[in-house]
Structure 1
Amino acid sequence: MITGERMAAVDANAAALGVPRKQLMESSGNAVAREIRAVADPGARVVVVAGRGNNGGDAFVAARFLDEYRVTTLLLGRAELIGTDIARENWDALRGADYDAREVTDSSGFDLPDADVIVDAMLGTGISGDLREPAATAARAINEADVTVVAVDVPSGFDADGGAHADNGIEADRVVTFHRTKPGLGDLAADVTVADIGIPAAAERFVGPGDVGLARPERRDGRAFVIGGGPYTGAPALAAQAALRAGMELSFVAAPESVAGEIQGYAEDLIVQPYGSDRLSPEQVDDLVDTAERHDDVVVLGPGLGTADETLEAARTFLESYTGPAVVDADALSIVPDLETDATLVCTPNRGELARMGGPDTDSLRETADEVADFAAELGHVVLAKGVDDVATDGERTRVCRAGSPGMTVGGTGDLLAGIVAALLEHADPLDAAAAAAFVNGRAGERLAPTASNGFLASEMLAEIPAALWGEADE
């Protein structure tokens, strides 16, 4: 089973793997045509009612595979407003090949021809809720017609993420859904066919641009609160700067007063909040929790903290008290396995830290991804394990990220990753945020590799994060 939102991401990943949406649309249309052949004999009258999105594009393709039928295609709206290039190309193909394809530009003029089969291709998985005009009028006419109704992917008005169906949605007799069934389709009074349209398994398994699209913030928003520093100062500064580069409005660093000035010196964009100690200790925890909770921060806990007993005890106390989202990295990871917390955690261990936490001790995270998933399930938190290939898992769902370059073995790239996760965690599901952050971090390293190869620094990757997160779709 797959949600409509996740399906859109998988489509984008498939395109990145070399299976473009246009090819998938051809397969989808062919699957719809096969369903029509299963319910109607050649010569039957088929009416396609299509919207201006890719759902309509699937139906335009289907019409070309039904030459043995009498097919009329009704486009709800003007052809120049068709929303995607591939759907428009398939509409133009119908018109250019002299198929019976008509525009319906006014819902008051909608006239449903006599039909033996009606194809509902008005709205796909990206739109749900009560139908508006002209789809509402068309749906009323379709539901009143005493004919077989075949829906493309989902019936119009059906929520492919939550399974709800609009009161004025299409009442389909049959549904041809693509790749996997969608939540709630099995509860409808309809026969559901799941059509394999050629999406490779890698489009779901491996993180790609579609995963970034799921987690990408639409606008700058939120505050990162990095609790780190003491023995080390560069790590919290890198994490905080990466959060800014990935969309946070503000990035705070809570650090010992003895190193606060040094951390501030890395970037004037950071807001450093010093506390009076050489290292994090339990005395600071109440104030830190209050700050984080009061401002709805996303916390990054661990970069540069060190492993002093009182510091680890403070980290434990913080997470036992805190109830918001947090990325746990570096030295703070050791306290997670025995932790009881109401916080939403994303843990970002490297291979060595993963083994010390009780996870698999492995040279290849990809080959042991199932073991990492088992460990995450036992831990009860999302794990983003860092290696040549990264593995993000919540114990039930697992993604493998292959993005990156050899130069990323330089120190600090893990701190960048923690900051990117924090920024995406402001908007996205924890697993989606972790998977997308791994890809963004890896792509930032790949963007530097052609010119710097193994010689670039983690700080130089900061400038590549925005392009890896937002810009590449436009390049």
Structure 2
Amino acid sequence: MITTERMGAVDRNAEALSVPRKQLMESSGNAVARTVREEASEGDSVTVVAGRGNNGGDAFVAARFLNEFDLSVLLLGRPESISTDIARENWEALREGGYEVETITDSADLSLDDPNVIVDAMLGTGISGDLREPEATAARTINDAEATVVSVDVPSGVDADSGDVPESAVEADRVVTFHDLKPGLAELDCEVTVADIGIPRAAERYAGPGDLSIGAPDPDAAEIRVFVVGGGPYTGAPALSAQAALRAGAELSFVACPESIKDVLAGYAEDLIVQDYESDRLTVDEVDDLIETATDYEDVVVLGPGLGTADETLEAARTFLEEFEGPMVVDADALSVVPEVETDATLVCTPNRRELAEMGGPDLDDLEAGAEEIESFAADLGHVVMAKAEADVVSDGERTRISTAGTPGMAVGGTGDTLAGITAAFVKESDPFDAAVAASYANGRAAELIDDREGGLLASDLLDVLPRAIWGER
């Protein structure tokens, strides 16, 4: 099954794979026409009742394949209010092709003239609940008719995800839905046909721009604060994570670090807020104060960049994981302690190949080829795993996606740190798995957008193009 939200992402990913939505609409309309032919005999009357969105567009296409019937097409609303270009093009194709079309701007004018088959294409999967006019009157008229009712994708008014059916919804005899069954259709008392419309399998398996619509925050999202706990032996890693979080939608980005490197970290960017503690490295003594800060301000924590692997630092990481209960991205030096810790925190773990093996996961040269093993490891671990390599593999133990976005230049140090920061900015507003998939794609896409570099990519180069990679393609 596939949810409405995920279906929208898959459509967008298919478009990025050179299968445009116009082509998918042509396939969808053809599928609707095939079902109508199963319910009608040659010469029967068929009435299409269409809305102004892509659901109506599917029906406009279907009408062109129903020439053997006494066909009429009713548009609920004015043609200029058709909401998408491809639906409008298919409406114009009917009008210019001499088909019998009529616009209904007043529901009182709606008359169906006892057709044999009615095609319900008023509202698609994105709209549910009690119908408003003119759809409410149209639905009553459809339900009162003695015709066979074929609904496009979902009966108008029915919630395609929950299956909620308001009293005003269309009562369908047949439903033609596309690509995969929607959860809300499973319990309907009618025949449901799932039509293959030519969406590539890669549009579901591989991360693409559609995943940004699910996993990335809106530019005007509620306040997102990211708290990077890192640094000690190294300074660049936590600075890159914190800056990437800002570029990915965080309003505030803090770095907690030893006092000895405070000035160095603060010097990377004036936008960072650096909070120091007295010891030279993270120890258990600092953990309570850091957790209190993160909890009080509902921060998303990034734990690990540049921390080092001193025994006392790893013990501090264990304590942090055991006691923190919020969302957290675990990266780099903190990853090794995750398998031995029980935590109520929501974790996204971001190991590279070596770190994945050190965590007890599979030792793989090719992460994509070993995606099933990574999924099994994520299931055992109980957390989202984003394994990083030429292709990133993201899994929560049940779902797995692969991101191949990026360039060879991303092998340079620091791109994993930017990925951790992006993920932190995304995970506050989204399901952790969806956030990780979107972050992986965004990080790689940012590298692809730097088209004037044949070599010498720096992780810091990604920062300026990250907003375009995230919001410019949604």
Contact 1:373 1:396 in 2 (8 A): yes
User: Shift of the alpha carbon at 1:160?
Assistant: 2.2
- Aligned partners of 2:176, 2:457: CA distance in 1, in Å? 50
Quote the residue 1:275 is aligned against: 277
User: Shift of the alpha carbon at 1:233?
Assistant: 0.9
Instruction: Verify: 1:258 aligned to 2:260, yes or no.
Output: yes
Quote the residue 1:363 is aligned against: 365
Quote the residue 2:422 is aligned against: 420
Quote the residue 1:95 is aligned against: 95
- Aligned partners of 1:269, 1:113: CA distance in 2, in Å? 67
Quote the residue 1:54 is aligned against: 54
- Aligned partners of 2:327, 2:470: CA distance in 1, in Å? 21
183-192 or 153-162, larger mean C-alpha shift = 153-162
User: Shift of the alpha carbon at 1:111?
Assistant: 2.7
Contact 2:114 2:146 in 1 (8 A): no
The CA RMSD over aligned residues, in Å, is 1.2
- Aligned partners of 1:160, 1:319: CA distance in 2, in Å? 38
User: Shift of the alpha carbon at 1:432?
Assistant: 1.0
Partner secondary structure for residue 127 of structure 1 = coil
Quote the residue 2:176 is aligned against: 176
Partner secondary structure for residue 470 of structure 2 = helix
1:128-169 Cα deviation digits (max 9, x unpaired): 222222211211221222221111111112222333233321
- Aligned partners of 1:394, 1:131: CA distance in 2, in Å? 37
Q: Which residue identity is paired with 2:181? A: T
Is there any run of 5+ residues in structure 1 with no aligned partner, and where?
none
2:316 to 314, 317, 321: 314
Contact 2:122 2:156 in 1 (8 A): yes
User: Shift of the alpha carbon at 1:106?
Assistant: 2.0
Q: Which residue identity is paired with 1:453? A: E
Partner secondary structure for residue 336 of structure 1 = helix
Quote the residue 2:139 is aligned against: 139
Partner secondary structure for residue 159 of structure 1 = coil
Contact 2:209 2:473 in 1 (8 A): no
1:261-313 Cα deviation digits (max 9, x unpaired): 21111010011111221111111112211221221111111111111112111
Contact 2:216 2:439 in 1 (8 A): no
Instruction: Verify: 1:39 aligned to 2:59, yes or no.
Output: no
Quote the residue 2:72 is aligned against: 72
230-239 or 208-217, larger mean C-alpha shift = 208-217
- Aligned partners of 1:113, 1:231: CA distance in 2, in Å? 80
Q: How does 1:14-413 map to 2 (within 5 A)?
A: 14-218=14-218, 219-220=220-221, 221-413=223-415
Q: Which residue identity is paired with 1:471? A: G
Q: How does 1:433-444 map to 2 (within 5 A)?
A: 433-444=435-446
Q: How many residues align?
A: 472
Q: Which residue identity is paired with 1:374? A: S
**What is the aligned-residue identity percentage?**
67
Partner secondary structure for residue 194 of structure 1 = strand
Q: Which residue identity is paired with 1:423? A: A
Q: Which residue identity is paired with 2:121? A: A
Contact 1:148 1:173 in 2 (8 A): yes
- Aligned partners of 2:275, 2:160: CA distance in 1, in Å? 45
User: Shift of the alpha carbon at 1:443?
Assistant: 0.9
Contact 2:409 2:455 in 1 (8 A): yes
1:214-248 Cα deviation digits (max 9, x unpaired): 22322253111111111111111100100100111
- Aligned partners of 1:124, 1:224: CA distance in 2, in Å? 38
Contact 2:396 2:433 in 1 (8 A): yes
Q: Which residue identity is paired with 1:325? A: P
- Aligned partners of 1:143, 1:429: CA distance in 2, in Å? 39
1:433-455 Cα deviation digits (max 9, x unpaired): 1111111100111122x322220
1:29-50 Cα deviation digits (max 9, x unpaired): 0100110111111111111111
Partner secondary structure for residue 187 of structure 1 = coil
- Aligned partners of 1:8, 1:348: CA distance in 2, in Å? 27
Contact 1:173 1:191 in 2 (8 A): yes
1:377-405 Cα deviation digits (max 9, x unpaired): 11111111100001111111111111111
- Aligned partners of 1:240, 1:162: CA distance in 2, in Å? 38
Q: Which residue identity is paired with 1:137? A: T
- Aligned partners of 1:318, 1:137: CA distance in 2, in Å? 59
Instruction: Verify: 1:452 aligned to 2:428, yes or no.
Output: no
- Aligned partners of 2:128, 2:331: CA distance in 1, in Å? 39
- Aligned partners of 1:162, 1:238: CA distance in 2, in Å? 41
- Aligned partners of 2:387, 2:310: CA distance in 1, in Å? 24
307-316 or 396-405, larger mean C-alpha shift = 307-316
Q: Which residue identity is paired with 1:170? A: V
- Aligned partners of 2:119, 2:92: CA distance in 1, in Å? 19
- Aligned partners of 1:141, 1:293: CA distance in 2, in Å? 55
- Aligned partners of 2:325, 2:169: CA distance in 1, in Å? 40
- Aligned partners of 1:142, 1:285: CA distance in 2, in Å? 64
Quote the residue 1:461 is aligned against: 462
- Mark the CA change 1:165 to 1:276 in structure 2 (over 3 Å): closer, same or farther: farther
Q: Which residue identity is paired with 2:449? A: R
Using the size of structure 1 for normalisation, the TM-score is 0.97
Quote the residue 2:12 is aligned against: 12
Contact 1:5 1:125 in 2 (8 A): no
Partner secondary structure for residue 151 of structure 1 = strand
Contact 2:114 2:147 in 1 (8 A): no
User: Shift of the alpha carbon at 1:424?
Assistant: 1.1
- Aligned partners of 1:143, 1:340: CA distance in 2, in Å? 55
- Aligned partners of 1:227, 1:140: CA distance in 2, in Å? 60
- Aligned partners of 2:113, 2:420: CA distance in 1, in Å? 58
Is there any run of 5+ residues in structure 2 with no aligned partner, and where?
none
1:342-380 Cα deviation digits (max 9, x unpaired): 111111000110011111111111111111111101111
